[in-house]
C-alpha cells in the first residue's frame, strides 16, 4: 500500500475527482481526502499501475491545480476493495495555498455558446477547472459558506453536479446557473435600471454606439469602449484623467489578435494560458484599425483574450475589440462594488453593467511581456496569491514594498506570498486597499509577522505604515535599501544564493547616503550589499518637477557636465523660456530643492528631452519609453555604434562619467542626425556602460554572475543589448520572470533580506 501526500494548490480545483478517476482508470483501490494542508491518498494495486498513477498525478493534473510536492511512502496492504473520496480532515494551524482566479475553460466556453445547454448565454458559468477563487474567498477552509457565493442557494440540478464526484462541478464552490446564480443588471449613469430583455445585447449596442461602460468583472470594474472609436477613447481619457498612458484591449479570439499584432509562439501560449494576462504585443499599427489613441506613440499594444463568460459573450456579441481599462480614476485602486463604482466612476461611465456576485478582493489584470521568456510587468489576476517558492524556510515576515506599483510580501515556511498589484501608494484609497489586503493574506495563510521590512525612503506611505505597525506591536523593524531589494528579488526567483554583481537601474530609490540612487552596481547577496559602482551624480533640479518635466533634467545634465554657458541653439531645449532657464540655473547654483541623483531612469528622460522626443510626461517613464520605441525601428542595424563615456574610481566605487556622452549627443542633435539613430546609439552606450563596469568589478571580485533588475529593464531593447553584451564577455546573466523587475518586485527582496538580517 502506498500513502501519497500532495502539496500545492490542490483543493477547490477538482483534484480529488481527478484522483478518483485516475484510480479507477488504473484499477487502484483506496481513498483520497483533503486535509488542512495537503491532499492525502492511499492506494493499492499492481506496481505498474501505481507507477502510471503517480506519473499522471503530476502530468495530467487539472489546469487550476499547481503541485508543489508529491511524497510517497510504502506500507503493508490494507485490502481496500473500492476507491472513495473521504471526509476532509481539518488540522489546527495548517493552511492551504489558495488558487488564483482562472480564465474560463474550454468546456464552460462551449456550454455558454451551445443553444440547448442549460447554461447557454449564462455569464457566471464556471467549474472546478475555471472561474473565480481568490476574489470571492473571505476565509479558509475554502467552501461556499466562506465565499461571497453563500447568498445563492444552489438549485437541485446544480446541487447534483456539486455532489457528483465524476462531474466537472464536483465541489465547485462558485457553481451556478441562470436559475439559481448571480445575474446582470444594466443601469444608466444615475443608477437607474435600463429595461431590456437581453442585457448582453443592450450592452453591446451601447458599446457599438461609442458609449463608455463600467463593467463589473472578476476582480473589479473595467472601463470599456470601442477600441476602434477614437472619439470614445479620447472622451474616456479626458474623463479618466489619463491623457496618454496606454490602455489594454480585449479581443474575441487569437485570430482577431493576429489581425492587429504579431504573435510569437511563446506569446500565444501566454495569451491562451489559464492565467490569461494582458500581453504586450508588437502592434501592426499600419494595418490595424485599433485607434492610435489606445497607445499613443507606442509600438506595442497590451492585449488579452476574454477570461470570464461575461467577456466571451460581450466580445462575441459586440464583434469589435474593446478597450478594457481598469475601473478607476487615474492612479486610485480599481472599483469593485456596485455602489462604490456608481460614486467613484460617475462622470466617467455613461452606463454601468452590474452583477451581484460580490468581489471580496480587488484584483487587477496581470501584464506580461515576452522577451525570450515571459516576464511579469504587473503580477495580479491569475498569479497572486500563488506564492513564490523560496529555496529556504522563512520566518514570518511582512515586507511592505515601495511606493509606486506597490505589492507587499508575507513569508512563511518556504512560501513568499507576494500580493497582487496594489497600486501607487499616493492616496488614502490605495493605503486602505494595502491594509485590507495585508489582513486578508494574514488570515488566509495564517501568518502573524514578527518582523517588518520596509524601504529606507522616509516619505513612502509604506514606510510610515511599517514604522507605525512596528512601534504599536513591538515588531522587529528592518529597513532595506531599495536597490538591494531589487537585486535580491531577482536572485531569489532564480534561486541563486551566492553573491552576484547586481545592476539595479531604475527611476528612484533612496540611497544610504541620502541621495537618490538609480544607476547602481552592487556586490550583493541575500544578506548584504556593497555599492561598487554607479552613474555619476547630477542634481534632480526642482525635485519631482524634474521627473514630470524631463527637459529640466536634460538642462541639469548639460549645465552640470558641460558648463552653464552651454549653448542651447539648435537644440529642442532652445524653446525653454529664458525666465525658466534662469530659475533652473539659480536652483543648480544654490542647490535648492535639488537632491543629487545617479538615476538611470533620469538619464533616459534627459536624453529623450534633449533629442526632442518628449520634454514633459503624463505617465511614469513615458519619455524613456517613447525614446525606446523610436530606436526599436532601427534595431536591425548591423553595426552598433556607441557614444563615449569614461569610468573613474571615486571613494572605492566605479563612477560612470557622462560628460562626453552628453556632448556627443548634443553634436548629433545639432547635426540633425535622425533620432532613431541617436536613440539606438544611446541604448547601445548604456549596454556598454553596464558591461564595462561589470568587467572592472569582476576583475576585482572574481564574480562573473550578473543580475539585472529595476524598472529600466522593462526596456526590451536595453535588456536585449545588455544581456547579449554581458554574455559575449563571459558573464552569466540573471533576469526576472516571475516577479516584476519594477518596484512591484521589491517586497520579495525586502522579505528575504529581512529574513537573513533579523535576530528573532
Q: Residues in the site for Zn ion, rule: CB under 5 A? A: 105, 108, 127, 129-130, 155, 158, 177, 179-180
State in angstroms the smallest separation of the CB of 125 from Zn ion: 7
Per CB under 5 A, does 403 bind Fe ion? no
**Contacted by 129, from Zn ion, Fe ion, none: CB < 5 to 8 Å by type:** Zn ion
Region binding Fe ion by CB under 5 A among candidate stretches 238-246, 409-417, 502-510, 581-589: 502-510
* Minimum gap (Å) between residue 126 Cβ and Zn ion: 6
Stretch that binds Fe ion, among 380-388, 521-529, 561-569, 737-745 (CB under 5 A): 737-745
Between 127 and 200, name the residue whose CB sits nearer to Zn ion. 127
**743 interface partner picked from Zn ion, Fe ion, none, CB below 5 to 8 A per type:** Fe ion
Closer residue to Fe ion (CB): 515 or 647: 515
Q: In the bound complex, what is the minimum distance in angstroms from residue 64's beta carbon to Zn ion?
A: 9
- For the bound state, the minimum distance from the C-beta of residue 308 to Zn ion, rounded and expressed in Å, comes to 11
What would the grid cell of residue 353 be? Answer: 453593467
The residue (of 125 and 594) whose beta carbon lies closer to Zn ion is 125
- In a 13 Å sphere around the CA of 75, the CA atoms on its Cβ side amount to 13
Alpha carbons 160 and 156: distance in angstroms, whole number = 6
Cβ at position 246, least distance to Fe ion in Å = 20
Nearest CA to 406 out of 422, 387, 385, 383 is that of 422
DSSP 8-class letter at 561: I
Please say which residue, 136 or 739, places its beta carbon nearer to Fe ion: 739
The CB-of-106 to Zn ion minimum distance in angstroms stands at 8
Burial classification of residue 51, based on how many CB atoms lie within 10 Å of its CB (0-12 exposed, 13-18 middle, 19 or more buried): exposed
Which residue's Cβ has the minimum distance to Fe ion? 506
* 436-467 residues labelled b (16+ CB within 10 A) or e (exposed): ebbebbbebbebebebbbbbbbeebbbbebbb
Partner that binds at residue 628, options Fe ion, Zn ion, none, CB closer than 5 to 8 Å by kind: none
Judged by CB under 5 A, the stretch of 21-29, 79-87, 508-516, 674-682 that binds Fe ion is: 508-516
Question: In Å, how far are 68, 534, 630 from 96, measured between CA atoms?
Answer: 12, 43, 48
Residue number with CB closer to Zn ion (36 or 167): 167
130 binds, among Fe ion, Zn ion, none (CB under 5 to 8 A by kind): Zn ion
Alpha carbons 408 and 379: distance in angstroms, whole number = 12
Q: Binds 155, which of Zn ion, Fe ion, none (CB < 5 to 8 A, cut-off by type)?
A: Zn ion
Q: Which of these ranges, 134-142, 258-266, 421-429, 507-515, lies near Fe ion under the rule CB under 5 A?
A: 507-515
Contacts of 580 (CB under 8 A, 6+ apart): none
Q: CA quadruple 612, 618, 624, 626: dihedral positive or negative?
A: negative
* DSSP of 600-659: HHHHHHHHHHHTTS-SS-SSTTHHHHHHHHHHHTTTT-SS------EEEEETTEEEEE-H
Nearer to Fe ion, 360 or 604 (CB): 604
> Least distance from C-beta 458 to Fe ion, angstroms?
16
Q: Closest approach of Cβ 626 to Zn ion, in Å?
A: 41
Of 189-197, 446-454, 697-705, 739-747: span binding Fe ion (CB under 5 A) = 739-747
Residue 75 interacting entry, from Fe ion, Zn ion, none, C-beta within 5 to 8 Å by type: none
The x, y and z cell numbers of residue 19, run together, are 484522483
455 lines the binding site for Fe ion (CB under 5 A): no
Residue among 149 and 607 whose Cβ is closer to Zn ion = 149
| Span interacting with Fe ion, options 38-46, 261-269, 451-459, 741-749, rule CB under 5 A | 741-749
Say if residues 247 and 340 touch (Cβ distance below 8 Å).
Answer: no
Give yes or no for a contact between 276 and 365, defined as CB atoms under 8 angstroms apart.
no
Q: Which one of the spans 107-115, 503-511, 548-556, 624-632 is the region binding Fe ion (CB under 5 A)?
A: 503-511
Task: Pick one of Fe ion, Zn ion, none as the site partner of residue 177 (Cβ within 5 to 8 A by kind).
Answer: Zn ion
525's contact among Fe ion, Zn ion, none, with CB below 5 to 8 A by partner kind, is none
Burial class (CB in 10 A: 0-12, 13-18, 19+), 275: buried
Partner in contact with 179, chosen from Fe ion, Zn ion, none, beta carbon below 5 to 8 Å by kind:
Zn ion
The single residue among 506, 520, 620, 668 that binds Fe ion, judged by CB under 5 A, is 506
Select 61 or 712, whichever has its Cβ closest to Fe ion: 712
- How far is it between the farthest Cα atoms of the chain? 93
Q: Which is nearer to Fe ion, 182 or 519 (CB)?
A: 519
State the sign of the Cα–Cα–Cα–Cα dihedral 708, 709, 711, 716.
positive
Nearest residue (CB) to Fe ion, 479 versus 509: 509
Q: Between residues 174 and 507, which has the closer beta carbon with respect to Zn ion?
A: 174
User: What's the start-to-end Cα distance of the chain, in Å?
Assistant: 43
| 3-state per-residue secondary structure call for 604-619 | HHHHHHHCCCCCCCCC
The least distance separating Fe ion from the CB of residue 689, rounded to whole angstroms, comes to 18
b/e code 173-200 from CB counts within 10 Å (16+ = b): bbbbbbeebbebebbebeeeeeeeeebb
Residues 6 or more apart from 6 whose CB is under 8 A from it?
15, 38, 39, 40, 41, 57, 67, 69, 70
Q: Is 743 in the site for Fe ion (CB under 5 A)?
A: yes
Sheet bearing 2-9, strands edge to edge: 66-74, 2-9, 39-44, 29-34, 83-85
- Comparing CB distances to Zn ion, the nearer of 184 and 207 is 184
**Which C-beta is closer to Zn ion: that of 161 or that of 493?**
161
Instruction: For the beta carbon of residue 313, count every other beta carbon within 10 angstroms.
Output: 23
Under 8 Å between Cβ of 4 and 41: yes
- Locate 495 and state its grid cell: 534561486
CB of 517 to Zn ion, least distance (A): 47
Residue closer to Zn ion by CB (options 135, 691) is: 135
| Pairing label, strands 388-399, 409-418 | antiparallel
Interface with Fe ion in residues 698-717 (CB under 5 A):
none
Q: In the complex, what is the shortest distance from the CB of residue 105 to Zn ion, in angstroms, rounded to a whole number?
A: 3
Residue (of 517, 494, 482) closest to 375 by Cα position: 494
CB 669 to Zn ion: min, Å = 57
Beta bridge partners of 367: 278, 378
Min separation Cβ 156 and Zn ion, Å:
8
Supply the minimum distance, in Å, between the C-beta of residue 710 and Fe ion: 5
Nearer to Fe ion, 128 or 508 (CB): 508
Q: Whole-number minimum distance, CB 272 to Zn ion, in Å? A: 15
Q: What is the size of the binding site for Fe ion (CB under 5 A)?
A: 3
Of 494, 536, 519, 472, residue with least CA distance to 718: 519
User: Smallest gap, in angstroms, from Cβ of residue 675 to Fe ion?
Assistant: 27
Q: Cβ–Cβ contacts within 10 Å for residue 356, how many? A: 15
Which CB sits closer to Fe ion, 226 or 743? 743
Smallest distance from the beta carbon of 109 to Zn ion, in angstroms?
Answer: 8
| DSSP letter (8 states) at residue 37 | S
* Cα dihedral sign, 288-272-364-714: negative
> Residue 506 binds what, of Fe ion, Zn ion, none (CB under 5 to 8 Å, by partner type)?
Fe ion
| Segment near Fe ion (CB under 5 A); pick from 147-155, 199-207, 342-350, 506-514 | 506-514
54, three cell numbers = 503517480
**DSSP result, 367-396:** EEEEESEEEEEE--TTTTTSPEEEEEEEEE
* Contacted by 108, from Zn ion, Fe ion, none: CB < 5 to 8 Å by type: Zn ion
Closer of 111 and 605 to Fe ion (Cβ): 605
Residues lying near Fe ion in the complex (CB under 5 A): 506, 509, 743
Amino acid at each position: 500500500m502506498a500513502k501519497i501526500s500532495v502539496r500545492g494548490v490542490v483543493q477547490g480545483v477538482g483534484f480529488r475527482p481527478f484522483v478518483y478517476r485516475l484510480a479507477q482508470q488504473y484499477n487502484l483501490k483506496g481513498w483520497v481526502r483533503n486535509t488542512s494542508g495537503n491532499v492525502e491518498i492511499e492506494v493499492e494495486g499492481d506496481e505498474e499501475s501505481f507507477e502510471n498513477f503517480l506519473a499522471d498525478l503530476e502530468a495530467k493534473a487539472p489546469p487550476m491545480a499547481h503541485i508543489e510536492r508529491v511524497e510517497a511512502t510504502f506500507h503493508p496492504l490494507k485490502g481496500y476493495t473500492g476507491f472513495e473520496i473521504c471526509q476532509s480532515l481539518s488540522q489546527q494551524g495548517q493552511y492551504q495555498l489558495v488558487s488564483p482566479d482562472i480564465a474560463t475553460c474550454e468546456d464552460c466556453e462551449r456550454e455558454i455558446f451551445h443553444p440547448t445547454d442549460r447554461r447557454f448565454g449564462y455569464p457566471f458559468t464556471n467549474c472546478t477547472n475555471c472561474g473565480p477563487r481568490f476574489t470571492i474567498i473571505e476565509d479558509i477552509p475554502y467552501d461556499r459558506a466562506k465565499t461571497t457565493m453563500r447568498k445563492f442557494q444552489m438549485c437541485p440540478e446544480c446541487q447534483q453536479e456539486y455532489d457528483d464526484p465524476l462531474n466537472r462541478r464536483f465541489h465547485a464552490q462558485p457553481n451556478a446557473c441562470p436559475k439559481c446564480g448571480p445575474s446582470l443588471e444594466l443601469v444608466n449613469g444615475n443608477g437607474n435600471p435600463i429595461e431590456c430583455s437581453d442585457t448582453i445585447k443592450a450592452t453591446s449596442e451601447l458599446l457599438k454606439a461609442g458609449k463608455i461602460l463600467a463593467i463589473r468583472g472578476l476582480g473589479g470594474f473595467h472601463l470599456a469602449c470601442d477600441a476602434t472609436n477614437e472619439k470614445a477613447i479620447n472622451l474616456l481619457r479626458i474623463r479618466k484623467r489619463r491623457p496618454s498612458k496606454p490602455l489594454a484591449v480585449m479581443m474575441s479570439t487569437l485570430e482577431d489578435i493576429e489581425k492587429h499584432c504579431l504573435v510569437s509562439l511563446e506569446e500565444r501560449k501566454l495569451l491562451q494560458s489559464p492565467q490569461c494576462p494582458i500581453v504586450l504585443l508588437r502592434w501592426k499599427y499600419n494595418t490595424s484599425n485599433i485607434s492610435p489613441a489606445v497607445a499613443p506613440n507606442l509600438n506595442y499594444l497590451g492585449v488579452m483574450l476574454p477570461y470570464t463568460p461575461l467577456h466571451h459573450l460581450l466580445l462575441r456579441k459586440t464583434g469589435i475589440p474593446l478597450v478594457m481599462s481598469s475601473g478607476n480614476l487615474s492612479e486610485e485602486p480599481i472599483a469593485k462594488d456596485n455602489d462604490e463604482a456608481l460614486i467613484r466612476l460617475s462622470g466617467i461611465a455613461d452606463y454601468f453593467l452590474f452583477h451581484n456576485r460580490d468581489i471580496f478582493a480587488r484584483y487587477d489584470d496581470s501584464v506580461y511581456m515576452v522577451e525570450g521568456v515571459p516576464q511579469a510587468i504587473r503580477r495580479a489576476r491569475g498569479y497572486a496569491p500563488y506564492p513564490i517558492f523560496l529555496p529556504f524556510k522563512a520566518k514570518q515576515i511582512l515586507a511592505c514594498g515601495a511606493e509606486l506599483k506597490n505589492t507587499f510580501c508575507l513569508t512563511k515556511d518556504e512560501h513568499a506570498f507576494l500580493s497582487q498589484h496594489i497600486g501607487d501608494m499616493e492616496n488614502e484609497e490605495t493605503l486602505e486597499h494595502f491594509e485590507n489586503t495585508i489582513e486578508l493574506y494574514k488570515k488566509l495563510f495564517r501568518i502573524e509577522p514578527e518582523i517588518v521590512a520596509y524601504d529606507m525612503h522616509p516619505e513612502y506611505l509604506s514606510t510610515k505604515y511599517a514604522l507605525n505597525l512596528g512601534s504599536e506591536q513591538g515588531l522587529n523593524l528592518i529597513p532595506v535599501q531599495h536597490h538591494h531589494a531589487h537585486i535580491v528579488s531577482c536572485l531569489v526567483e532564480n534561486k541563486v544564493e551566492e553573491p552576484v554583481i547586481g545592476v539595479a537601474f531604475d527611476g528612484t530609490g533612496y540611497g544610504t547616503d541620502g541621495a537618490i540612487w538609480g544607476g547602481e552596481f552592487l556586490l550583493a547577496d541575500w544578506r548584504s550589499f556593497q555599492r561598487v559602482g554607479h552613474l555619476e551624480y547630477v542634481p534632480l533640479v526642482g525635485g519631482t518637477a524634474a521627473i514630470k518635466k524631463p527637459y529640466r533634467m536634460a538642462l541639469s545634465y548639460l549645465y552640470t557636465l558641460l558648463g552653464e554657458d552651454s549653448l542651447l541653439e539648435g537644440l529642442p531645449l532652445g524653446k525653454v523660456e529664458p525666465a525658466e532657464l534662469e530659475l533652473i540655473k539659480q536652483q543648480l547654483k544654490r542647490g535648492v530643492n535639488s537632491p543629487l541623483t545617479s538615476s538611470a531612469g533620469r538619464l533616459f528622460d534627459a536624453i529623450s528631452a534633449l533629442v526632442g522626443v518628449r520634454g514633459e510626461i503624463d505617465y511614469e517613464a513615458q519619455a524613456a519609453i517613447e525614446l525606446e520605441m523610436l530606436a526599436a525601428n532601427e534595431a536591425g542595424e548591423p553595426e552598433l555604434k556607441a557614444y563615449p563615456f569614461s569610468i573613474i574610481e571615486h571613494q572605492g566605487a566605479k563612477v560612470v562619467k557622462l560628460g562626453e556622452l552628453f556632448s556627443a549627443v548634443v553634436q548629433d542633435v545639432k547635426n540633425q542626425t535622425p533620432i532613431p539613430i541617436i536613440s539606438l546609439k544611446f541604448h547601445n552606450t548604456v549596454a556598454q556602460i553596464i558591461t564595462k563596469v561589470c568587467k572592472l568589478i569582476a576583475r576585482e571580485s572574481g564574480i562573473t554572475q550578473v543580475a539585472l533588475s529595476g524598472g529600466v529593464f522593462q526596456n526590451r531593447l536595453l535588456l536585449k543589448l545588455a544581456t547579449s553584451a554581458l554574455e559575449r564577455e563571459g558573464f552569466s546573466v540573471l533576469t526576472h520572470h516571475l516577479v516584476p523587475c519594477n518596484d512591484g518586485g521589491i517586497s520579495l527582496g525586502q522579505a528575504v533580506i529581512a529574513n537573513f538580517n533579523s535576530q528573532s
